[in-house]
Structure 1
Amino acid sequence: MNKIDDDAIRVVSWNLEHNGTARDGSNDRWHLAMDILADLRPHILLRQELTRADMHGARAVWAEAARLGGHLPFLAGATPESANPTGVYIDRELFEPTEYFEHATGMWHPVCNPVVRLRGAAARLSLASFHLCSFDPDRRLNEARRLTILGKPHMAAIIGGDCNSYPHSQSEATTLPDWAEVEDRTHFEHRTLDWCGERVPDTRPDHVLAGAHHGRPPVFAELGHYSATQLGQRGALAPTASLWRTDQGDMQRIDRIYATPQVTEALTSLEVIVNDEVREASDHCPVMATFSLSRLRRALTEFAQSAA
Structure 2
Amino acid sequence: MTTLRVVTFNTLFGGHDDFGLGAGDRWHQQIPFLKSLQADVLALQECNFWDLLGTRRLYQTMNALGMTNAHLAYANETTSGHRFHTAIMLSRRVQLAAQGTDRDRYHHVMGWANLIVPGLEGLLELRNLHLDPFDPRNRAREVSPLGVLAAPGRRSLVVGDINAIGLGFPEPDWTSLAAHAQNGQLRLPREEAVSDRDATELLGRAGFLDASHPSGQGTAPTAAFGDGDVPRRQDLILMSPALASALVDYQVHLEPIDKELSDHGAVSATFDLSRLA
TM-score (norm 1): 0.82
Show the counterpart of 1:135: 134
> Against the structure 1 CA distance between its residues 95 and 276, is the aligned structure 2 distance closer, same or farther, given a 3 Å change threshold?
closer
Of residues 239, 249, 252 in structure 1, which corresponds to 2:221?
239
> Against the structure 1 CA distance between its residues 45 and 278, is the aligned structure 2 distance closer, same or farther, given a 3 Å change threshold?
farther
Query: Identity, % of aligned pairs?
Result: 27
1:214-293 matches, cutoff 5 A = 218-225=206-213, 227=214, 233-235=215-217, 237-243=219-225, 245-249=226-230, 251-275=231-255, 279-293=259-273
1:227-250 superposed Cα distances (whole Å, 9 cap, x missing partner): 2xxxxx23453100113x21123x
Contact 1:278 1:285 in 2 (8 A): no
C-alpha RMSD of matched pairs (Å):
2.0
1:80-137 superposed Cα distances (whole Å, 9 cap, x missing partner): 2241111111112x22111113223535222110101113433111112100100001
In the alignment, structure 1 residue 79 sits paired with structure 2 residue 59: no
1:221-275 superposed Cα distances (whole Å, 9 cap, x missing partner): 11112x2xxxxx23453100113x21123x1111111111121110011110013
Gaps of 5+ in 2: none
1:60-75 matches, cutoff 5 A = 60-75=57-72
Q: How far 1:278 moved relative to its partner?
A: 5.0
Show the counterpart of 2:202: 208
Q: Which amino acid aligns with 1:207?
A: E
CA distance in 2, matches of 1:277, 1:246: 13
In the alignment, structure 1 residue 25 sits paired with structure 2 residue 22: yes
> Against the structure 1 CA distance between its residues 187 and 177, is the aligned structure 2 distance closer, same or farther, given a 3 Å change threshold?
farther
SS at match of 1:234: coil
Show the counterpart of 2:45: 48
SS at match of 2:157: strand
> Against the structure 1 CA distance between its residues 278 and 196, is the aligned structure 2 distance closer, same or farther, given a 3 Å change threshold?
same
Gaps of 5+ in 1: 1-5, 212-217, 228-232, 303-308
CA distance in 2, matches of 1:237, 1:271: 12
TM-score (norm 2): 0.91
> Against the structure 1 CA distance between its residues 21 and 265, is the aligned structure 2 distance closer, same or farther, given a 3 Å change threshold?
same
CA distance in 1, matches of 2:263, 2:184: 18
Contact 1:105 1:111 in 2 (8 A): no
Of residues 11, 14, 21 in structure 2, which corresponds to 1:16?
11
Q: Which amino acid aligns with 1:177?
A: P
SS at match of 1:112: strand
CA distance in 2, matches of 1:235, 1:121: 27
Show the counterpart of 2:114: 115
> Against the structure 1 CA distance between its residues 116 and 197, is the aligned structure 2 distance closer, same or farther, given a 3 Å change threshold?
closer
> Against the structure 1 CA distance between its residues 199 and 277, is the aligned structure 2 distance closer, same or farther, given a 3 Å change threshold?
closer
Q: Which amino acid aligns with 1:270?
A: Y
Of residues 173, 181, 192 in structure 2, which corresponds to 1:178?
173
Q: Which amino acid aligns with 1:86?
A: T
CA distance in 2, matches of 1:19, 1:34: 11
What is the aligned length? 272
CA distance in 1, matches of 2:258, 2:62: 19
> Against the structure 1 CA distance between its residues 278 and 55, is the aligned structure 2 distance closer, same or farther, given a 3 Å change threshold?
farther
SS at match of 1:140: helix
Contact 1:165 1:203 in 2 (8 A): yes
Contact 2:2 2:118 in 1 (8 A): no
> Against the structure 1 CA distance between its residues 286 and 275, is the aligned structure 2 distance closer, same or farther, given a 3 Å change threshold?
same
Q: How far 1:151 moved relative to its partner?
A: 2.8
> Against the structure 1 CA distance between its residues 236 and 10, is the aligned structure 2 distance closer, same or farther, given a 3 Å change threshold?
farther
